[in-house]
Structure 1
Amino acid sequence: MSGIGAPELSARNCGDLRVAVIAAQWHEPVMNGLVDGALRALRDLGIDEPTVLAVPGSFELPAAAKAMASLGYDAIVALGVVIRGGTPHFDYICQGVTQGLTQVAVDTSVPVAFGVLTCDTEEQALDRAGLPGSTEDKGHQAATAAVATATVLRSVTTAAALDR
């Protein structure tokens, strides 16, 4: 199981963070589980009004993430699913999405959680989607990671300002 060894993340004093959840529309049952998990995590952390955007597919996630980062969001949760098929399309999409989301985070210093499932089968995706019977809840994990990272970055920024 891929969730073995995952850290126990927590975040405090984060209810004032502006968080965007950006979700691809392919594979609706999986995406519904990922979005529900992310929104549940944000509610658990005291973030009651995240912005939720839908984009056509996972390939569009980086452009939307960059737009939200430029609008001053503190954290972004990118959710999608790409299931391997019989062509190299899977490899190109996964590589582009991974590099694009990483570039947004590096260029903007806004945490972008990678909640994009890259699976060989639909069954693997469903098992990670946080649905009843799933063994993992990657939407919840991604949202928690984004907020935990945002709080770390805020503490670093605050400490640097106090040192001046």
Structure 2
Amino acid sequence: MGGDDFHKGVKEPSTRLDGSGLRILIVHTRWNSEIVDPLVEGSIAALVNYGVKRENIVVRDVPGAFELPSAAHRLIRQSQQQQSQNLLLGSPQVTQILPFDAAICVGVLIKGSTMHFEYIADATTNGIMRVGLDTGIPVVFGVLTCLTEEQAMQRAGIGKGDDKGHNHGTDWGSAAVEMALLNAGDSVEPVRKREMTPIILRKIEQRAWGPGQLRVAIVHTVENWDIVERLVNELRYELKNKHFVNVFNIKLTQSESIHEIPQYIARLHSRYQIIYAVGVEFKTSPLYEPRLVDLLTRRLGALGGELKLPLPVFDCILVRDSQEQLEQQMQDGCFAKSWARRGIDAFTMLGPR
């Protein structure tokens, strides 16, 4: 390809992106701000170009690149916890605080005369990747790692002379929209819509089930994992071996606590015909709060109707006095057998749409 024909940056996606329902976080450094600022502006311009509302673009700054991963992780988790609280408590207060759909971490590292550059670049790269894997949302790597200041300026579109270069921030903005839509609905089609209801919920367009294998989601906690793992494995076994559900169509999603389960169900709901919420709470735990458990039970009971699910969410949260009591009751996989049968029977009565 000739020099004049070469297109710098990411090729435009083949499908038109609609980011009008997205909320995006940008975390940037104040170090090398004369280069970082144009990159942030380029990212914002690209987001707005793809329909993201300016009020849904949140910009935060940190001192340097090393602080980017921890700040992004904290801000993303805060937004997710806010939605979880809304879903759990069913607050009538309509709030604009929605969870982030994607994040962009922006910074500039320029090599000096010591090994500092290599250490910070490596730690920042791995940290940003870890944030995306841990939080479940796309995190775009917007950190330039350059050998000279001139290289960085070229990549921010502020190069010296006639050739200003290409602002990579525009690529990061478009990547954030594309990956957010992909993460939301397995497609870059504009399927996501936001609706402000008494409870803030993510609305994903309902898609017909069509023929084929039944799709099941098991949203489980990591609390009391030794017991929960056994329950989840027994439920998978029952679905696979007794009801012939393809094991590859059984999705496992973990939540930090039982009170965050509604948040994960709200994300998954359009892709699965049966959803189980599995967790264990012991009354002897210092963290046990009967009021919150009661609220969770009511939230799970109402969630199916609010999300317009074809079936209710199956509440498989076990609350017992102690672990010893529960282990005595877990004979021969009795809980899993009952849960699997309830889900399959309900689906059979309803029939595929």
Could you state the TM-score of these two structures normalised by the residue count of structure 1?
0.90
Tell me which residue corresponds to 1:97: 124
- 1:14/1:6 CA distance change after superposition, 3 Å: closer
Matched, 1:78 2:105: yes
- CA-based RMSD of the aligned residues comes to 2.3
- The amino acid that maps onto 1:39 is I
Matched, 1:58 2:62: no
Alpha-carbon separation, structure 2, partners of 1:62 and 1:30: 20
Alpha-carbon separation, structure 2, partners of 1:131 and 1:111: 28
Matched, 1:42 2:47: yes
Tell me which residue corresponds to 1:26: 31
Alpha-carbon separation, structure 2, partners of 1:67 and 1:81: 21
Residues 42-93 of structure 1 show CA distances to partners (whole Å, capped at 9, x for unaligned) of: 1101212200001101111001110122112111011000000000000010
Percent identity (aligned): 36
Shift of 1:101: 0.3
- The amino acid that maps onto 1:8 is E
Greater RCO structure (CA 8 Å; 6+ sep): 1
Tell me which residue corresponds to 2:143: 116
Shift of 1:5: 7.1
- 1:137/1:5 CA distance change after superposition, 3 Å: closer
Shift of 1:11: 5.2
| DSSP-derived class of the 2:105 partner | strand
Tell me which residue corresponds to 1:147: 177
Matched, 1:134 2:164: yes
Question: Size of the alignment, in residue pairs?
Answer: 164
Residues 9 and 166, structure 2, Cα contact 8 Å, conserved in 1: no
- The amino acid that maps onto 1:7 is K
Q: Bigger shift: 83-92 or 136-145?
A: 136-145
Shift of 1:8: 2.0
Provide structure 2 residue ranges, at least 5 long, that are not aligned to the other structure.
Answer: 80-98, 188-203, 208-267, 274-353
Residues 158 and 164, structure 2, Cα contact 8 Å, conserved in 1: yes
- The amino acid that maps onto 1:126 is M
Alpha-carbon separation, structure 2, partners of 1:130 and 1:17: 26
Could you state the TM-score of these two structures normalised by the residue count of structure 2?
0.43
1:87 to 105, 109, 114: 114
Residues 80-128 of structure 1 show CA distances to partners (whole Å, capped at 9, x for unaligned) of: 0000000000001000100000000011111111110000000000000
Alpha-carbon separation, structure 1, partners of 2:38 and 2:157: 5
Alpha-carbon separation, structure 1, partners of 2:117 and 2:271: 47
Alpha-carbon separation, structure 1, partners of 2:45 and 2:157: 11
Which structure 1 residue ranges, 4+ long, deviate > 6 Å from structure 2? none
Alpha-carbon separation, structure 2, partners of 1:19 and 1:124: 28
Matched, 1:6 2:10: yes
- The amino acid that maps onto 1:17 is L
Provide structure 1 residue ranges, at least 5 long, that are not aligned to the other structure.
Answer: none
| DSSP-derived class of the 1:103 partner | helix
Shift of 1:29: 1.5
Alpha-carbon separation, structure 1, partners of 2:16 and 2:173: 11
